Structure 1
Amino acid sequence: MMSRKCALLCLLLICGTLCVLLLCDNYCPEELRFSRESGFYEEPFELELSAPFGEKIYYTLDGSVPDENAFLYTTPIFIDDATSQPNVHSMRTDTSPIFLSESSEYRLPDYPVDKCTIVRAASQNADGNFGEVKTESYFVGYDEKAGYQDMNVISIVTAPENLFDYDTGIYVLGRKYDSILDEDGKPLWENANSYNHGFEWERPVDIQIFNTNRDVLLKQSCGVRIQGGGSRTYLPKSLNLYARENYSRATRFYVDLFGTEYMADTVTLSIGGQDAFTKFRDMLVSTLSKDRAFCTMNFVPYTMFLDGEYWGVYWLTERYNNTYLDYYYGVDADNIIMVKNNKLTREREEDWAVYGSMLNYLQNTDFTKAENYESLGYTIDLQSYIDYYATEIYIGSCVDWPGTNEAFWRARKLTKNTGRGVNYEDGRWRWMLFDVNSGSLRERVVEEDVLAITMERSPAFRNLCQSAAFKKQFVLTSMDFANETFSVQNTEQVIEDWLALMREPMEVHLRRFYGEEGLYRFDEEVADIRAFIKRRRPYAAQHLKENFGLEGCLAPVEIEMPDMAAGQITLNTITPTFDEQGKWKGEYFTDYPVTISAAANEGYRFAGWEISAGQEKETIAETSLELEIPVNGLHVKAVFEREGSGK
């Protein structure tokens, strides 16, 4: 029998062995380890790196890939607020031709921009082979810094040459821009490296995404390209991020970035295009028209750090592609034809024939014939088309639209409706809203007859406008937009919410790229948007009257709903937003009747309409009505009663 002393000795040996195993796990792990994860920290700390036994660790702090020329890890790395470090990429002037112009609005920062510490490390085994590179980003002391409240943060880390190499860097003007000049001896912006497209100009990056609570949402290797058209020469630039197997063995960004549970394969970090001083116009129009019959994007605000340096404010948005349509519309990704800027997004010869057939049909069919107009709905979702064109026209898009910045899609093969809601695989074309930042929502175009311009530029739209039925539907929808969607009441709330969130972050952004002068431009642009919204409605209405030959006049339409909890009211294509007294007022042309309907909420029943038209008053019990509008206006009161009330 084992003595008590032997038993105690065995127990000590077992405990000692376990301690050694735990120490080995900590100091000799099976793979490279960081003692701290990417994140936001209040206080400085020492970062410890550990690797399998016998392996060396090399690391970098500038985004470059570690090799034998990098720092050899021997002692912990002190991580502090890196803001005091010298500005590096922020001081470049080879990122935009605007720097070279005498009237350049860009300013190099004369202060240390905010920074984070980026650590990239890899271990080297005895054979000299390097393992997988690990990348982390550390933000220290950001709790009190201005411009980050309620903002998501993304850190993008890549080898500097991927962005800034003279020949192959995607973010700079480059050698071709400097070498090939026009007949006046001036460079052409389309020769810039940043203007190149395609997979050849995609570069590997590591991203770390933090939500507003500073939790890590995503850490992933992916690809990056410059995004946009003319804005490719701006600073900063919009970026597309691509999830691919060759970067991280993941073909999606498997995190809910937009609050819709959509797991995207591609996302865009948008600088706002030509709306550089507010970055608001795209977001505003998409938000206001979210319930319309065309595609819109979600906009999530982000602050970006590029290789550790503050790089401005962006909107993270979905990117229109087959994956987007598959998720949001339930159409198989392989069964989609999508056209953007008159080009197929996926080249298939038979799809060109389908696209060409649709264009020919819209441009050359006589839609003044009732039977032709009735059949139009088999080719396009007519409300989608009208909603989209009425939106673009109302907001004043006339710089690079129509013709460019236009996209639409359909299912290639038709499937039967299963009865589970809208069948988007019905083979009808539907429209997609994007890039309304060029000329829209600016006071200088508030009086512009964009309806006439669109009829001139678009043969299909001009042909459809010959149809009396199309005119009616277009006029009613346009006035719905004027009275509700883009009303001062609706837009002002969105503007105020946006200002509360974005003013401070945008002040930091504008100071970084435009100096103190940029702050004044911000307020000017916000005032410009407000002035357009305030003044646009009468001009838009007059253009409808003149171009469509309307003979009637605008007359007030008032709706009253004393108990707003009782149900829902629909007027034409809108759900009116009632004021605190349960009243709504708009204007419509007397040429066309309006359609109004009511639906009771649970616990209520619809009792009828009390209608006042001029001197005449009547009560109608039907839930849906088509009402003519007298010259002196129309007043409608929706009456609901509680079920079981006996009234």
Structure 2
Amino acid sequence: MLGRGSMLVSSLFPLGVSGRRAGVLALLVWALVACRRAPEVSSDEVGEESSPAVLTIDAMDNEQHVLRGGFSVEAGVFRVELYEGSVLLGEALLEEGRWSIPWQPGVGSEFLEVVAYAMAGTEIRTRLDFQRLSFTEPEGLYAAEALLALPTEPDITTRYTLDGTAPGPSSPVYTTPLVLLNKRGQPAPLSLIPTNPDTSPETWRWKPPATPPVLATVVRLQRFSGETPVGPAEARTYLIGQGATSLPVLSLVTDAEHFFGHDQGIYVPGRMHDPSPEGTAGWGTGNYMQDGKEWERPVHVEWFEETGAPVFAQNAGVRIHGSGSAALPQKSLRLYAKEDYGPESFQADFFPGHPLRDFKRLLVRTSGQDQQNSKLKDCVLQGLLRETRLALQACRPTVVFLNGEYWGLHEVRERYDEYSLASHHGLNRKKVVILEGDGLLDTGEAEDAIPYAELLAYVREHDLSVPEHFAHVEARIDVEDFIDYHVAQLYFGNEDWPENNIKFWRHRGGSATPGAGDGRWRWLMYDLDAAFARGAEANSLGRLLRDERMAEPFVVLFRGLMTSPGFRERFVARFHWHLDNTFAPERVLARLDATVELLAPEMPQHIARWRYPESEASWRDEVQRLRDTLARRPEVMRRLLQEELGSP
């Protein structure tokens, strides 16, 4: 509202008076009213500063070609003009502290200037200089306010969207450069969609963001000949006027229905929750608990380095990843590179120092159940084992945006499958066999589960303290791999193992040359979110050796091998070596602290978005508990080795 002076101006000059003449008349009337109603000013009030006048350019409707902004109501603004260079484009429409004016950028547009005239006779100015971007060039993620040129061709119509939706025949037609401005203060509707039921336990129930999420601008385009699409849909993501993060950025773009629709959305409870909300194991039910091709959705993927430099952009498939953790508010994803969508692999240097840069599948992981606590355990602990021969998942902490909305901290990870194992070891992927649990088939043919079942049967029926019986088993498993794997799991005190999160693999028809292709079973390390759940004192070794509650198929091989004096000696010696080297406190704490330093700048924004961990202070408390455990664990394990196995 402009006050009585403005109302009086409106009544005196309702029609026919505009422009600067009206402004002069308005100033005279305003001054008259001000003189009549001017309050007395005490000596204490003299010199007090008034609120600074504000004038902004903050939104552009590219479809309707309308530029918008705001101004301080208390400044008594009665007219706002828009200039392009030195050319007056017109006078804006004013309403409740907002202004708007039709405008289309031209080929030569370089900057705009907005001038607001106040009734006190002052002018407020703001200027906007444009960066020029081209959709067809590999532009960076971070940009100043910009004019974006989309590609055009004769007899082809370019249509676009700015909300993540795939452009269709009725989407806006591109005619002039798109104006990209900072989206601060604009709605973030996806972040307000509950991602688990309101009946979920309060400790992991979805909560709305504490503050408005950071917003990126997502531009999707599709070329058309008439109503027929020409070529694939494309997308570009820009963070306009935003500071750089300390981490790489992954931008995912898809129709909102693919993630949040009741019937087909993979990120919500949806139709799979309605008939039987209880589910099993306390996690409930939901669309996010489904898997398989039926629950794969198309997505556009862009990857940017910390500097904002683009690495790749391509169409792909996406599914929810994980079991129980899928019921938590923030969910892990699995990306598929397929010919159905575009390139058949993701080709990039995702992981510094990693031997591979070609991946069929990638995980975008939220740290599983640890997302509410330290949010770094699995990534850090697997990283400690890089110098062993164990199969491990490379890890890169990453910030994710979904349809331009800040989606928080994730980890880009390798996924264990026939493609990754074959690539690492130069094997035929069609001969890679992966089993899980107590010997269930994950990858391969039905008969591929038989050799492992036969191995367990042999262990049950034979005394492995007899050298030839042990030799029979040693010919079928990589004993060194088995030892390293179990040493690590026992040191970590993993409470969600071995009756869960256990996989092992072999190459069918192995060669005579020792190595990954020799046909012996080897183990896969993953999902260490429950590591150290019982603290530094947990007797994980005693649990694995004696706990009768553990299902026999999960412990029969380890317990059988421990009857062999030779194996037992090798196991104890290797455990002590790892405690002195791999798990030396100074080494472990240095790795932990480096990751904490990497994540710390991003944690406040992540916590504001998801409300888990509960606060930055609680996150640091959790990290400190982990530090204390890591510092004490080697001493505890040495004592347990002596108590359980009589080692010196």
Which amino acid is the alignment partner of residue 137 of structure 1?
T
Match of 1:426 among 514, 518, 524: 518
Q: Which SS does the other structure have where 2:615 is aligned? A: helix
Match of 1:62 among 163, 173, 192: 163
Q: Deviations over 1:490-532 (max 9, x none)?
A: 1111122112211111232122111794212211111111121
Match of 1:162 among 248, 258, 264: 258
Q: What does residue 542 of structure 2 align with?
A: 452
Q: Which SS does the other structure have where 1:218 is aligned? A: strand
Cα distance, 1:360–1:293 mapped onto 2, change above 3 Å? farther
Contact persistence 1:255–1:261 (CA under 8 A): no
Contact persistence 1:38–1:137 (CA under 8 A): no
Q: Distance in 2 between matches of 1:103 and 1:199?
A: 32
2:364 is the counterpart of 1:254: no
Q: Which SS does the other structure have where 1:305 is aligned? A: strand
Contact persistence 1:181–1:187 (CA under 8 A): no
Contact persistence 1:98–1:234 (CA under 8 A): no
Match of 1:72 among 169, 173, 177: 173
**More displaced, 463-472 or 186-195?**
186-195
What's the CA shift for 1:187?
Answer: 12
Contact persistence 2:434–2:503 (CA under 8 A): yes
Cα distance, 1:257–1:335 mapped onto 2, change above 3 Å? same
Cα distance, 1:515–1:428 mapped onto 2, change above 3 Å? closer
Q: What does residue 644 of structure 1 align with?
A: none
Which amino acid is the alignment partner of residue 441 of structure 1?
F
Q: Deviations over 1:328-347 (max 9, x none)?
A: 22222122111133432224
Q: Deviations over 1:241-275 (max 9, x none)?
A: 00000100x22112222232421100101111111
- Superposition CA RMSD, Å: 2.4
Q: What does residue 13 of structure 1 align with?
A: none
Q: Which SS does the other structure have where 1:293 is aligned? A: coil
Which amino acid is the alignment partner of residue 413 of structure 2?
T
Q: Distance in 1 between matches of 2:301 and 2:611?
A: 26
**More displaced, 527-536 or 235-244?**
527-536
Q: What does residue 10 of structure 1 align with?
A: none
Identity level (%): 29
Cα distance, 1:335–1:517 mapped onto 2, change above 3 Å? closer
Contact persistence 1:177–1:189 (CA under 8 A): no
- Superposed counterparts of 1:397-416, under 5 Å: 397-398=494-495, 400-416=496-512
Match of 1:387 among 461, 465, 484: 484
What's the CA shift for 1:225?
Answer: 0.5
Q: What does residue 532 of structure 2 align with?
A: 441
Contact persistence 2:142–2:308 (CA under 8 A): no
Cα distance, 1:181–1:473 mapped onto 2, change above 3 Å? same
Cα distance, 1:63–1:446 mapped onto 2, change above 3 Å? same
What's the CA shift for 1:117?
Answer: 0.5
Q: What does residue 112 of structure 1 align with?
A: 212
Contact persistence 1:364–1:463 (CA under 8 A): no
Q: What does residue 624 of structure 2 align with?
A: 527
2:367 is the counterpart of 1:272: yes
Q: Distance in 2 between matches of 1:494 and 1:47?
A: 42
What's the CA shift for 1:102?
Answer: 4.2
What's the CA shift for 1:36?
Answer: 5.5
Contact persistence 1:363–1:459 (CA under 8 A): yes
Q: Which SS does the other structure have where 1:163 is aligned? A: helix
Match of 1:203 among 297, 320, 338: 297
What's the CA shift for 1:129?
Answer: 4.9
- Superposed counterparts of 1:463-482, under 5 Å: 463-482=560-579
Q: What does residue 625 of structure 1 align with?
A: none
Q: Deviations over 1:557-578 (max 9, x none)?
A: xxxxxxxxxxxxxxxxxxxxxx
Q: Distance in 2 between matches of 1:461 and 1:187?
A: 28
Cα distance, 1:98–1:367 mapped onto 2, change above 3 Å? farther
Match of 2:403 among 281, 287, 307: 307
Match of 1:370 among 444, 467, 470: 467
Q: Distance in 2 between matches of 1:471 and 1:285?
A: 25
Q: Distance in 1 between matches of 2:537 and 2:384?
A: 21
List runs of 5+ in structure 2 lacking aligned partners: 1-106, 108-133
Cα distance, 1:187–1:176 mapped onto 2, change above 3 Å? farther
Cα distance, 1:98–1:452 mapped onto 2, change above 3 Å? farther
Contact persistence 1:177–1:187 (CA under 8 A): no
List runs of 5+ in structure 1 lacking aligned partners: 1-22, 24-32, 551-588, 591-647
Cα distance, 1:381–1:311 mapped onto 2, change above 3 Å? same
Q: What does residue 605 of structure 2 align with?
A: 508
Matched positions, count: 505
What's the CA shift for 1:368?
Answer: 1.0
Which protein shows a greater Rg? Answer: 2
Q: Deviations over 1:473-501 (max 9, x none)?
A: 12112222222211211111112211221
